[in-house]
Structure 1
């Protein structure tokens, strides 16, 4: 799967520390907006294929390229290359607890701009693995009406407290709690025996209650909608986008 039929662009905005960032973007489709954020090592063919499915379901999809080389398969070399990029860049948190990744500011700007262009109840946001929690952080902006967390793995689950952390500052978590209390739901997908996701789904259930829609697949797979794809998971994500983005505005 390639990006040949996608429109290349870029978006410039500041992160949460005020640093100006510019990342490439790839866009395709028509309908309500959905931002699909790739996993490590980058925008691999399986991520692009998932993006195509969201397009086919009737959405305008924007995929930012935050690290890695778009279109390259997920070989060991690409994984190591991306891991080095992630480790040395300040816009990503890796081990810090109770902290929102600074890149969330840039992603919120991207969502706000897309919603401003397309209108409607809001846009969807889906993160995977290292970026899994980014969709939750984007929800702080009212433009994000359908956040989806696929196997969120940040902060890296080194120790019990990090394994339970949801990669949000206390202030951002409070905003998320207020939005879910007002009716905005959050969808999460993981494999039940995936150690990388830690216990953060338990934390989200405790913090958000019934507003957190938790889906646990059997086994020890990892990438729920790409490499270790579960069709039931893909179908549930598409149904969630359809429900949240074609309905009355979310709070």
Structure 2
């Protein structure tokens, strides 16, 4: 985690910073709160202040939030030059499968281990996971871990070169479909209409794979925050991040409503008898 904090960056002072080892691979995970575990993954170009705002909302809703550092500078405000550099490095990293034909990203094995470890520590009926943008589909792949029972896909963007692709190997796709049907899981997903990184074709492919278990919700692009950070304004170039960079934090706003729907979904799925949902 970087210690070079600028005026628009988030210092993460209200999180505990852990080094988590899964099968010999160690990554930093920022943890806060109490209650059942929810893994909130970063979006490109990293754990931004907007991602951390979402993580704090999850924490304040009664969960132990785990934010794994997968790329970028933790807490950094998303700038154009730094963000483009992170994207370039991630796209050639052996941990990710950013393009069509690559299959499932290897980093999801580590993420499933994190979910398993978080469940053992935090208890409860299971773990919630929220993927965003580059990590959006990872929330689905993590459901190969039995502890994961509440997957949320925020504008899943991989593979970058196939608008109708799912960034899944055939065996994993088959296993996910079987697990979700067998255990009666629901996969909640969000996108903006007209998003070129997460198209309607991608949602159609998820629905084809998962059937009625896929609850894909599309918001009008007209409601997106019109002044997101520079990386989203100049590089992403389209309404994209429903509950982070393009969220409008105003009562009654559709993007804030999407946040509330996600929190309600997590509360319903992760609540225990006698615990307020």
Same fold (TM over 0.5): yes
Gaps of 5+ in 1: 15-19
Partners of 1:174 and 1:112 in 2: CA distance: 21
Asked if the contact 1:2/1:48 (under 8 Å) is kept, the reply is: no
1:133 aligns with 2:137: yes
Other-structure match for 1:117: 121
Partners of 1:78 and 1:22 in 2: CA distance: 24
Other-structure match for 1:17: none
TM-score, with structure 2 as normaliser = 0.83
1:60 aligns with 2:70: no
Other-structure match for 1:194: 195
- Identify which of 242, 245, 248 aligns with 2:270: 245
Pairing 1:1-251 to 2, within 5 Å after superposition: 1-14=10-23, 20-97=24-101, 99-156=103-160, 158=161, 162-182=162-182, 183-198=184-199, 199-219=201-221, 221-229=239-247, 230-246=255-271
TM-score, with structure 1 as normaliser = 0.91
Partners of 2:264 and 2:203 in 1: CA distance: 21
Asked if the contact 1:98/1:165 (under 8 Å) is kept, the reply is: no
**Consecutive aligned runs of 4 or more in structure 1 exceeding 4 Å deviation:** none
Partners of 1:97 and 1:11 in 2: CA distance: 30
Which deviates more from structure 2 when the two are superposed, residues 166-175 or residues 141-150? 166-175
Question: What is the CA deviation profile of residues 28-65 of structure 1, one whole-angstrom value per residue up to 9, with x for unaligned ones?
Answer: 00011000000011011011111000001000000001
Partners of 2:259 and 2:109 in 1: CA distance: 27
- Structure showing greater Rg: 2
SS of residue matched to 1:172: helix
In the TM superposition, residue 98 of structure 1 has moved relative to its aligned partner by 6.4
Partners of 1:82 and 1:52 in 2: CA distance: 24
SS of residue matched to 2:163: helix
Partners of 1:197 and 1:87 in 2: CA distance: 17
Question: What is the CA deviation profile of residues 193-229 of structure 1, one whole-angstrom value per residue up to 9, with x for unaligned ones?
Answer: 1011132110111121111111100115100110101
The aligned length equals 239
Partners of 2:87 and 2:25 in 1: CA distance: 19
Partners of 2:168 and 2:260 in 1: CA distance: 28
